[in-house]
Chains A and B, each alone.
Chain A
Amino acid sequence: MSTATIDPVRAKAAAATASGNGAGSQNGYEPNMVLATKTFDVVGTRPVRHDGTDKVTGRALYGADVLLPGTLHGAVLRSPHAHARIRSIDTSAAESMDGVFAVVTAEDLPPAEDKIVDVGEGDTRLSYVHGNVLAAGKVLYQGHAVAGIAAASPHLALEAASAIKVEYEPLPSSMTAPEAMQPAAELLHEDLYTKEFGERSQAPSNVAEHVQWTKGDAADGFAHSEVVVERTFDTATVHQGYIEPHNVTALWNHDGRLHIWCSTQGAFVVRDVTAKILEIPVSNVKVTPMEIGGGFGGKIPVYFEPVAALLSKKTGRPVKFVMSREDVFVGTGPTAGSHVRVKIGASADGKIHAMEAMLAYEAGAYPGSFVIPGGMCIFAAYDCANVAIDCYDVVVNKPSCAAYRAPGAPQAAFAAEQVVDEVAAKIGMDPVAFRLLNAAKEGTRRADGPKFRRIGCEEVLEAIKSHPHYQAPLEGPNRGRGVAVGFWFNVGLESSCTLHVNTNGTVHLVEGSTDIGGTRTSIAMQAAEVLGIPAEDILPEVVDTDSVGFTSVTGGSRTTFATGWAAHDAAQKVVAEMKARAAKLWSLDPGQVEHAKGVYSANGRSIAFQELAAQSSRTGGPVSATATVKPRGVGGSFSANLVDVEVDPETGKVDILRFTAFQDVGKAVHPSYVEGQMQGGSVQGIGWALNEEYYMGDDGTMINSTLLDYRMPTSLDLPMIDTCIVEVANPGHPFGVRGVGEANIVPPTPAIANAIHDAVGIRMQRLPMNPPAIWSAVEKSRSS
């Protein structure tokens, strides 16, 4: 195992000479910052991705492109109410329509058992997943699925949906965590009690869970602080916003086998959860993950997969569903709206003495708001002796939350990083110097328990200080610069990978991680590095759940880390086998054969991998190897943004003038796609900061459920997004990989808020910071 290590002397030198691709540069990239000392032949290069040609020619097949012979088309009837009791459902008119083949409601599902199910990034009660798939008894949000229809065409299915008569008894609704936490608030679930310190509350509640972590004595820390700042922040519900709507085709074959084709981040999650909901053996379900048009966490849950399966069983034909954009907004995702209070105290010399936070997140209709990861990350960048964090997971009448890129962390950072900025300003310290003085490092214990191993928080902050952006002056009225840091712990979970060596020296790589952003290639590159062959000679394929070992979701920034590790291990097994084959050719002991860069040698003789592969038939037959991993060496990732804005005080519009994203990725396996992750996460954060919001009417329904009104950033709204890759190798991974997908979305909202404050002196405590909000705040500050 070739573990990359960091050389602090070289690291300092690299930091001193670091330069990013400046805002002015148009073509070509200047080198990014590299702190890891180890260099590789394939890892760290930029080959063209293996699936690229199919994707630039329109040939790649996504879920909505599947069309089996005899397919029926589905539609979902959704609740128009935010909260209502279902008095009756009459499907008879719909069922009697020409071209309508079947209708299902919650009554067609097997009764929900009260057991725990793994839903990809954690466990939940099966009854919640079940209830979200098709509402039983009550609808808990506008968009909650009530019935599914299979018809001869998508248009007919929609017509049939509107012919289903549902009698509702509307109930009072709670749309925010503070509302739902009121004792008088209408309960969403009569059987939901607050889980608190290992106990269950006496009475049912909309608060599903209260978690508290303490470290040291926060009250004492505040007593010893000369500067204390406390503020409260709120963020609106936002959506992951992937361009491809959810889709599924299900075929319940007459032999009892269920085959599902869909767009998912976790084919095995779809397999396992669908089997549990339908009460069929997991071995009877095969899921083929099609190309996926974005997910960001939002394509982990199961929505209409079991509904399509039931309709297929009823009709004996394949049944296909594709969501409309409105369905995506009201029926899937989103991420939690939040209410966060942060209090930070420091002494005049800049040392933070106490940090306190209360986070209440909106889980949507079912528990699971990701408030706990939010609490784990909120102060992770700081080495502080006295910390108290309280997290509340609160159900409200909105769609059930799904993960969204570092789920929970951006809302927490929006609050914490603004208060950190304010404390630094009050002390009179530079915001980066203040963060560096208090930065978490190896050995720092987080309030939620884990002690950091080697991390790159200080290196990321040093990278900011030495970046040309930081040193460039910013002039002009209403312009400001902001900085913020972010953290995501990343996950490991489980992965499998198989390699098959072809006789022409190429290698088929079989894996089960859905490829959302080029991971086929970053996984293949790790196998190529071990085998000593070009990345192009590995032919990676993402296959169905029958054809590869169990692989957890593409999520938690784990795919290049963990599935790449499985590829590394499988490749090592191939190397061992190839040594044995060479030994056989030369009548030697395998222990006498050495391998370096794809060449096997012993006693002055040598043979290249390709030649050895060509002789596999003569040396014992085909060469294949499989490896499975459940890695423990997960390395968290720190990120930071430096952003310059210009605020128009007359309209409230904020323009991003310059944006630089910094991130410790451990090792950038394919730097282009690492930059791409950093740029994409940054821009999602910019949208979250400035525009995006579920705009809810008084009746609890979403008013802006189109991509015109839910305004995600366009190319015209943005400058180039400069990146500075920081590589503090993760000692827990063969190539030092930490993961890159998520930490980058954490700092944009506070960095932009801090820049707005720097520009016009207003402190924004609510997201989004859209023109009306900025304009009002500027007007208010002018009049006071």
Chain B
Amino acid sequence: MNSTHVRATINGQPTEFLCEPRHSLLEVLRDVLQLTGTKEGCNDGNCGACTVEMDGRIVPACLVLGVEAEGASILTIEGIAEGSALHEVQRAFLEGAALQCGVCTPGFIVASKALLDRNPDPTEGEIRLWLANNLCRCTGYDKIVRSVQSAACRMQQEIAT
């Protein structure tokens, strides 16, 4: 099958890749670009493990075609930390024990960061609604929700100081 040449910005870096028209963005990220932090759980948009941010919207990378990334700006889990400094959401997940097996964690972190970018002080209900696209089978979500609350709290404090 013929490959298509695609140009996109991935985690801030201008990136070019070749992909077949049938390849999903998830396949491109994982198999072509070796950005394996984005995980596959279902390949039909129902688990959220492959959540990435594309032009400011969070999408399951398995439901986007690689060729649709032309000209787009994409943020994956690998682009969340700034240099050696973890994002507050990452720190909160670590300290709040919000992960067990960790395979859903990249998707949750990308989605949680996107929530806090839009809504710096979400209620518990708003967090639960926003994260309802992401399945976690280990934690029962309690510590995930609390960690997002705690990240929000810290980010608010940082702005205040």
Report which A residues bind B (CB closer than 8 A): 26-27, 46, 48-49, 51-53, 55-62, 64-65, 67, 155, 240-245, 291-296, 322, 324-325, 516-518, 672-673, 675-677, 679-684, 706-708, 712-716, 718, 720-721
Contacts and interface: CB of A to CB of B under 8 A. Distances in A.
A80 to B, nearest CB: 20
B94 A56 contact: yes
A interface SS class:
loop
A518 B102 CA distance: 10
A324 B24 CA distance: 15
B140 A682 contact: yes
Nearest to B129: A716
Contact of A715 (B22, B44, B93, B131): B131
Interface string B119-149: 0000010011101111111111111111001
Given A27-B153, A56-B93, A58-B77, A243 B37 contact: no
A27 B36 contact: no
Given A48-B95, A58-B106, 19 more contacts: A27-B150, A53-B86, A57-B78, A61-B36, A62-B36, A65-B36, A241-B137, A243-B104, A325-B41, A516-B101, A516-B138, A517-B138, A676-B100, A683-B141, A706-B42, A707-B41, A707-B42, A712-B137, A715-B132
Given A57-B78, A65-B36, A241-B137, A721 B149 contact: no
A410 to B, nearest CB: 16
Interface string B31-63: 100111111111110110100000000000000
Nearest to B47: A707
Contacts of A244: 39, 41, 49, 101, 103
B72 interface: no
B101 A294 contact: yes
A292 B39 CA distance: 12
A328 to B, nearest CB: 9
A320 to B, nearest CB: 11
A518 B80 CA distance: 23
A56 B103 contact: no
Contacts of A684: 137, 140
Given A27-B150, A676-B139, A676-B143, A56 B42 contact: no
Nearest to A247: B40
A716 to B, nearest CB: 4
Given A706-B44, A707-B41, A56 B146 contact: no
Given A241-B137, A714-B135, A715-B145, A57 B42 contact: no
B136 A518 contact: no
B28 interface: no
A325 B42 contact: yes
A715 B144 contact: yes
B32 to A, nearest CB: 11
A294 B137 contact: yes
A48 B39 contact: no
B44 A59 contact: no
B81 A62 contact: no
Contacts of B40: 64, 245, 322
Contacts of A682: 140
A706 B46 contact: yes
7 contacts: A57-B78, A58-B78, A517-B101, A706-B42, A706-B46, A716-B129, A718-B128
A48 B100 contact: no
A746 to B, nearest CB: 15
Nearest to B103: A293
Q: Is the interface of B mostly helix, strand, loop or mixed?
A: loop
10 closest residue pairs by CB, A with B? A58-B37, A293-B103, A683-B140, A55-B102, A58-B77, A679-B140, A672-B97, A517-B100, A707-B46, A716-B132
Contacts of B150: 27
Given A57-B80, A294-B101, A683-B141, A48 B94 contact: yes
A673 B86 contact: no
B47 A243 contact: yes
Given A56-B86, A325-B43, A715-B128, A62 B141 contact: no
Contacts of B43: 324-325
Contacts of B153: 27
A718 B99 CA distance: 17
Nearest to B131: A715
A681 B141 CA distance: 11
A680 B139 contact: yes
A243 B99 contact: no
A450 B158 CA distance: 58
A243 B51 CA distance: 13
Contacts of B94: 48-49, 52-53, 56
Contacts of B105: 55-56
A296 B137 contact: yes
Contacts of B80: 57
A501 to B, nearest CB: 27
Contacts of A59: 37
A673 B141 CA distance: 13
B139 A293 contact: no
Contacts of A56: 86, 90, 93-94, 99, 102, 105, 109
A429 B150 CA distance: 43
Given A155-B22, A243-B104, A243-B135, A718 B140 contact: yes
A433 to B, nearest CB: 29
Contacts of A55: 99, 102, 105
A294 B44 contact: no
Contacts of A240: 137
Contacts of B47: 243, 325, 707
Nearest to B125: A716
A342 to B, nearest CB: 28
A209 to B, nearest CB: 31
Contacts of A706: 42, 44, 46
A672 B100 CA distance: 10
A717 to B, nearest CB: 8
A682 B127 CA distance: 20
A696 to B, nearest CB: 20
Contacts of A721: 140, 142
A243 B139 CA distance: 12
A556 B146 CA distance: 29
Contacts of B20: 155
Instruction: Give the interface centre of B39, B77, B95, B142 by most chain A CB atoms within 10 Å.
Output: B142
B130 to A, nearest CB: 9
Contacts of A707: 41-42, 44, 46-47, 135
Contacts of B34: 67
Contacts of B145: 715, 720
Nearest to B104: A243
Nearest to A240: B137
A291 B35 CA distance: 16
B146 A243 contact: no
Given A52-B94, A721-B140, A721-B142, A715 B101 contact: no
A93 to B, nearest CB: 19
A294 B97 contact: no
Given A243-B47, A680-B140, A52 B99 contact: yes
Contacts of B76: 58
Count chain A CB atoms within 10 A of each CB in B86, B102, B106, B109 and give the residue with the most.
Answer: B102
Contacts of B103: 62, 242-244, 291, 293-294
A558 to B, nearest CB: 17
